[in-house]
Chains A and B, each alone.
Chain A
Amino acid sequence: MSALWAGVRRSLLMKLRYPDFWFAYLAWPVIFPAAYLLTAGALAQGGHGFAGYRADIVSGTLMWMWVNVTCWSVGGALRQEQTGGTLESNWSSPAARWALLTGPALTDIGLSLAGMVLGALECTLLFGVRWAAPWPVAAAVAVASVPWVLGVGLVLAAMVFWAKDVSVMVNLVRGLFMVACGITCPLAVLPGWLQRVGGALPMTYALDAMRGGPWGTDLVRLLGFDVGLAALGALLFAGVEASVRRRGALGTY
């Protein structure tokens, strides 16, 4: 019996010391239901019709799943190599740092993108979902989304070197994309302040184009995010790399 309590106590103590425990504890229980509440709100307002919402929800969910995986692709690979011990052998080679960083991440991004395309096909076949955007638009949106996702990934990866444990930041980004970009509802249903947050996030425009919005302007906006976020990520990372070489944070320190 005392071993049972010791186990409870130990795991509680350890959990409380992980920052992402608090996020999971306090934030996700709001974020997750919020997404469904917004869906319910959107459906109650009608307007768009049942078939329309089905496509909206599938495209939103798939897109979010993709971002969910890929926003952590660069940082996750980096962290894994850091704790696994392979990072230093890579970085002591003459290869360019950005290549070492983005190479493995592109695998993740590509693989999960293919997975989402497969998911979309399956939804079409199984549930008869009919898509608003023609497939060339969908493909263009997917391609135009790779650089900004990579940029977000680089920003989060740069944080790996500031604070080893960046899971809170990663979850924050995931949560933000989940509620603010209208993954399961039109943006118009969101409260005003959330709409403004959503307006500042690239996924909002990716979804808008997928859902038959004005894809021309959406794509231009996406390209803007591509340039901006990729540049921000690259810049942050370059700065952090220099500080890492000073502090010796490449290894497990």
Chain B
Amino acid sequence: MAPVEVSDLSKRFGTRVAVDHISFSAEAGEVFGLLGPNGAGKSTTVRMLCGLLLPTSGVARIAGHDVARHPVAARRRLGAVLGGERSLYWKLTGREYLLYFAALYGLRGADARRRAGDLLARFRLDDRADELVERYSTGMKQRLALARSMLADPAVLLLDEPTAGLDPVSARLLRDEVRAVAAEGRTVLLTTHYMEEADELCQRVAFVTGGRIVALDAPGALKRRLGGGAVCRVELAGWRPDLSLPGEAVAIGEGRWELRVPVSDPAAELPALVAQAAQAGAAVLRCESVEPTLEDVFVAVAGQALRA
């Protein structure tokens, strides 16, 4: 049985369906990504996996334990980072923070101190370990949260938007840490709305939108779905749905759209596309053909951009 098993999981808040019958599993050593725009239902899924939320229907299992029925057993095998730096106590030092949570995970005395010390060193916090968290940078806070989630030596790590708010360098460093954690044989489930992150980090990615998984595969395989060719991007002013141009149009600014069309032969099809757009009465501001990104696939599959 896979360390994370989600089957037919749903969550309704009143009449709003936040998660709509999703199923997936994540293997040991895998970084599994839930990729989708804000409001897609990613955090709700993670909260159900932590036992913080009860599902309306369906089952979530952590290391074989049904989270809703045996939350304590599931939580023992689980580390979670929700809400990033907000999940820290700013008036504690990094070490005090870890020792507090070590106690919540049943670690005591010398064991707890050793574990906290190891994690502080591993996440490059040891030289600032006895400073108040409020003096840490956002990157350090995020690493401290990650260190906390590793206290119980968990089989499964749940990271909700782990790099949100980080500068590019800190985000890359954090991604390296996440990769290393998975390389130890842990299962990492992370949510993100950064497609580069999902592409770079995840062995498999589930596209989530409107509470449903609309595609699930390895990033490379997802990209190959677009036909292996390229994507033409044509920036337009004056696009309207009734122009009946091919591909998906994504609003990218005031009165500007980007038309994204997967093609197999860009040299022939890009000029034709530009001509077609001009003929339809849209002004072409810029055009290019690029390797398809995960976001292109997302747009093609979900009919919606990630950062809407």
Contact = CB atoms under 8 A, between A and B. Distances in A.
B44 A248 contact: yes
A94 B105 contact: yes
Interface residues of A, number: 19
Given A86-B89, A248-B13, A92 B105 contact: no
B54 A88 contact: no
Interface string B60-97: 00000000000011011010111100111100000000
Given A92-B80, A94-B105, A84 B13 contact: no
Contacts of A93: 75, 101, 104-105
B160 to A, nearest CB: 10
A91 B50 CA distance: 9
B180 interface: no
Interface string B100-136: 0101111000000000000000000000000000000
B51 interface: yes
B87 A89 contact: yes
B86 A92 contact: no
A17 interface: no
A245 B86 contact: no
A94 B78 CA distance: 9
B148 interface: yes
Contacts of B87: 85-86, 88-89
Interface string A221-253: 000000000000000000000100111101100
Interface of B: 11, 13, 44, 47, 50-54, 72-73, 75-76, 78, 80-83, 86-89, 101, 103-106, 145, 148, 152
Contact of A86 (B53, B54, B86, B106): B86
A125 B147 CA distance: 51
A94 B80 contact: no
Contacts, number: 68
Contacts of B44: 248
Contacts of A85: 83, 86-87
A124 interface: no
16 contacts: A86-B89, A88-B82, A88-B83, A89-B82, A92-B52, A92-B80, A92-B82, A94-B105, A94-B106, A245-B53, A246-B53, A248-B13, A248-B47, A248-B52, A248-B53, A250-B47
A94 B86 contact: no
A246 B12 CA distance: 9
A90 interface: yes
Contacts of A250: 47, 52-53
Given A86-B87, A246-B53, 10 more contacts: A88-B47, A88-B87, A89-B82, A89-B87, A91-B52, A92-B82, A93-B75, A100-B104, A247-B13, A248-B44
A12 interface: no
